[in-house]
Amino acid sequence: MKLLVTGGAGFIGSNLIHLVLREREDVEVVNLDVLTYAGNLDNLTDVADHPRYTFLRGDICDAEVVRQAMEGADVVLNLAAESHVDRSILSDAPFVRTNVMGTQTLLSTALELGVSRFVQVSTDEVYGELPWRDPDDGDPAPPLFTEDTPLSPRSPYSATKAAADHLALAYHSTHGMDVVVTRCSNNYGPYQFPEKLIPLMVTHALEDRALPVYGDGLYVRDWIHVEDHGRGIMAAAERGVAGRVYNFGGEAERTNLVLIREILRILDRPESNVEHVKDRPGHDRRYAIDVTRAREELAWEPTWTFEDGLRATVRWYLENEAWWGRVKSGEYWKDYGEIYGEEVPE
């Protein structure tokens, strides 16, 4: 099988490529990535010369580049996206371009070339928000997002992802194209760009910097290890039903404050550097995923416990300071002060 992975130099994409090349000897991977600030070929250094791996630099909005990359592919996994909510609030145009127009270019090319399956990789943020609950209060039946939950995106980022999901499923309904959509909760693991919560907190703690926490810090997220997400994407690609949506989550709800305290405990750092900052506009209070359909139809299960996964992730950042040091010395600092209300460090 030949896979085209778009956005494969990013966090989720690079972990997925590692997983596939390690575990699937029958799969060839083509990685198409334009290498924006969050795309990093250092993520894939150890597979750069792999005989079943090819990297192509290019924009998913460029139809000719897309056609070249997609030629001969059996399955397209679309992970290319602008994905940081804060950046979408500052400027939403790049999100509309990549997440909507780029997806349309990929879909139309896949239809033209007769690609066997198109997997649109999305997010639980398209569902909007759930009522707040304390994850430790013992509530036996908290509300969860299912695949039938109406979409109600509340940020420019999630709105563009919802639009792309609708477009992908419309290609199935209108053209009979084999399309599957996946939606996952918050990912964590190696190679995550340091603007996201876990690597931001880990690296700031290691640098003895302030740890910025939006609002009251009682925002609840369900966390899934990126490797479990990758296995879910492959399960959807291989066993999913055309026209269906599949949710993937780690069944690990935490408030941001509880998560940050656990990171500081692992690192043996004080909580005194936690600093509450002005809240994000339209900040969704809670996300939580029901993975029943993935279990029943795809035989998929999360394999990482959050405790083990977080410890392994923190250890990875401790052991790979050269990687995140290079990242944070470059485009990471663009817009940092405007997002977090801090001065950009020298």
Q: Which pair of structure tokens corresponds to residue 344? A: 């950009």
Is 37 one of the annotated active-site residues of the chain? Answer: no
- The one catalytic residue in 28, 33, 82, 124 is 124
144 contacts: CB under 8 Å, gap ≥ 6: 130, 288, 289, 290
Is 188 one of the annotated active-site residues of the chain? Answer: no
- The one catalytic residue in 28, 59, 127, 157 is 157
- The one catalytic residue in 28, 82, 125, 227 is 125
Question: Other C-beta atoms within 10 Å of 166: how many?
Answer: 13
* 75-78, strands of its sheet edge to edge: 53-57, 28-33, 2-6, 75-78, 117-123, 179-184, 245-248
Is 125 one of the annotated active-site residues of the chain? Answer: yes
CA atoms within 13 A on the CB side of 52: 16
| Residues assigned a catalytic role | 124-125, 157
